[in-house]
Structure 1
Amino acid sequence: MKYIIALVSAAVLAVLAVTASAQDTERYGKQKVVYHINYDGGTESKAYKGAMRNIQNHINAVGAENLDVKVVLHGNGLGLLMAAKDDSTLQTVVGSLKGQNVGFQVCNNTLKGRKISYSDDLYDVWEEDIVPSGVAELSRLQQMGYTYIKP
């Protein structure tokens, strides 16, 4: 009898968990979001890690399948991917987010102006990740219906 009660309780909890998850999906629906990073991450890249946590929390709440996320980096924001070259925690976080289809877009104006090599100085950046202008890209994405977030 105790075994049956335990099984029924487990089944009820599983149904409640699925229902709660479905309600979150219904609550938030599909979203397109652009996160704007153009600031210095501070000592030990705390601000960068906080921004990455915000993005992961957003994914957790809405579901990766319901979310189209872009991260636009320009100016001091490129420090995130510079710091990730030597910070295994940031590498793991950036890699995990990319694995959930988060796109990281890097400003070419900043690369040129600061003489930064995307292949040598930044973590996991490819030619297709480069956009002509970070601020122009933010405007373009907002015109396409992306919600602007500055963590």
Structure 2
Amino acid sequence: MRIFWKLAAVFAIALSISSAAHAADAKPHRIVIQVDQNDAATMNLALNNVTNIMQFYRDKGETVQVEVVAYGPGLNMYREDTSPVKGRLKQISEMAFPSKVAFSACNNTKQGMEKKEGHPIAIVSQASLVPSGVVRLSELQEQGWSYVKP
């Protein structure tokens, strides 16, 4: 019986080492989604993609990083005064863990809108400004992120 327990212990250690090696070799899941249209249906489709991606990996016991980059007319997605999806942004931010979701707003677009409209524009608290939305998309793709445009 003693040999059985020793063999079981050796097997458990080998399995643990194998699992740890597999986890270390696993490619991280990183997906960037572009929104460049002032269209509620497109914004909702992008957020549906985020939700579905996070749920898919959650069901597999894995995590994912998702970033939604909005620029041009798509920046309205993150405007405090015009966003038709403000509630969904908050909801998705709150339910993301253990995965990570980021909402990036193009500062070039924001500055252009402010100049055209003649007043400051507030961005929802879930979003962060990036200098350029297009550059952000490009940099993430250069780092190996998968690209999606709904």
Residue in structure 1 matched with residue 135 of structure 2 by the alignment: 136
User: In the alignment, what sits opposite 2:66?
Assistant: 69
Question: Match for 1:67: what amino acid?
Answer: V
Deviation digits for residues 83-137 of structure 1 (CA, Å, limit 9, x no counterpart): x6466x723310122221310111111011111735x3x32256xx111111111
Question: What's the counterpart of residue 93 of structure 1?
Answer: 88
Question: Structure 1 residues 39, 29: closer, same or farther in 2, change over 3 A?
Answer: same
Within the candidate set 29, 32, 57, 2:30 is matched to: 32
**Corresponding residue of 1:21:** none
Could you state the TM-score of these two structures normalised by the residue count of structure 2?
0.66
Distance 2:111 2:147 in 1: 25
Q: Distance in 2 between matches of 1:51 and 1:110?
A: 19
The reply on whether 1:50 has 2:45 as its aligned counterpart is yes
Q: Is the 8 A contact 1:29 1:66 kept in 2?
A: no
Query: Which residues of structure 2 form unaligned runs of 5+?
Result: 1-22
Q: Matched residues in 1 for 2:35 and 2:134: separation?
A: 11
Aligned residues between the structures: 116
Q: Any idea what SS the aligned residue of 2:37 has? A: coil
Is the counterpart of residue 59 in structure 1 residue 54 in structure 2? yes
Judge conservation of contact 2:77–2:86 (CA < 8 Å) in 1.
no
Give the C-alpha shift of residue 144 in structure 1: 1.0
User: Paired residue for 2:102?
Assistant: 103
CA-based RMSD: 2.6
Distance 1:68 1:50 in 2: 18
Greater Rg over alpha carbons, structure: 2
Instruction: Report the equivalent of 1:13.
Output: none
Corresponding letter in the other structure for 1:105: S
Asked if 2 retains the 8 angstrom alpha-carbon contact of 1:73 and 1:107, the reply is yes
Post-superposition offset of 1:66: 1.4
Scaled by the length of structure 1, what TM-score is found?
0.66
Does the residue aligned with 1:69 lie in a helix, a strand or coil?
Answer: strand
* Identity level (%): 27
